[in-house]
Amino acid sequence: MAEYKLQYFNMMGRAEPARLIFAYAGVQYKDERIEKSQWPEIKPTTPHGKLPVLHVDGKQLAQSRVIERYLGKVFGLAGENEWETAKMEELQACVEDFLIEIQPWFKEQDNAKKVEIFKQLIESTIIPFITAFENILVTNGTGYFVGDKISYADLAIFHIFWFMNSKILPGALRKYPKLHEFVEKISAIDSIKQWINSRPKTEA
């Protein structure tokens, strides 16, 4: 069995989908959380000066989405064929686009400006994103986003909507029955539930 270590800051952020993959797969790893004060010293040791970094038997792999895909393949949570693999990558790209679009809201420190940015994002970005992913679940008809069983893409998407429903727009998913059902279903998986209940409590 390989030895795994996941390095990231003490937050959910871009490392949380990988942590959820480890939790679901039941694979042990070192969840190394870097404090901001440690970062200047650690940064030069990373492949591209960014986190997260996955260490596998001493080798390093960077970029959060690449890490998710790698773990998905290793733990049997990737596509059954090339088409499913491509669709999972497509959904990852959509999530990434969404995170880039809402980044100004996360970074803004002025509360008044933050509220104004959020009002704009609701109509231009957030509701279209939720609606699109609700429609994907309706179209696929299996309760999952690709194929008929859980994948690493489902866990990455779950985190976005769990965070949205818990932190950004509490209860908003009740208007989207398939997404609400999806988040409730993944949350109820024993290993995922245990991780959510035991993980360090952070705001983001």
CA-to-CA distance for 204 and 194, rounded, in angstroms? 19
CATH fold of 4-76+191-198, please?
Answer: Glutaredoxin (3.40.30)
Active site residue 69: no
DSSP, res 143: S
Active site residue 4: no
CB atoms within 10 A of CB 203: 6
What residues in the chain have per-residue pLDDT under 50? none
Residues of the chain with CATH 3.40.30.10: 4-76+191-198
Residue carrying the six token digits 């993980």: 199
Catalytic residue among 24, 70, 105, 162: 105
Amino acid in position 160? I
Predicted confidence at residue 106, as pLDDT, reads 86
Catalytic residue among 14, 19, 24, 144: 14
Q: In sequence order, what are the beta bridge partners of 6?
A: 31, 54
Residue carrying the six token digits 């008929």: 148
What digits encode the pLDDT tens for the residues 108-161?
989 899 999 999 999 999 999 999 999 999 999 999 999 999 999 999 999 999
Residues of the chain with CATH 1.20.1050.10: 82-188
Active site residue 152: no
Listed in sequence order, the DSSP H helices in the chain are: 16-25, 39-42, 64-74, 82-107, 111-121, 127-140, 152-163, 177-187, 190-198
Tokens of 112: 């008044």
Amino acid in position 127? I
The SS3 of residue 112 is: helix
Q: In sequence order, what are the beta bridge partners of 32?
A: 7
pTM listed for this prediction: 0.95
Predicted confidence at residue 78, as pLDDT, reads 96
CATH fold of 82-188, please?
Answer: Glutathione S-transferase Yfyf (Class Pi); Chain A, domain 2 (1.20.1050)
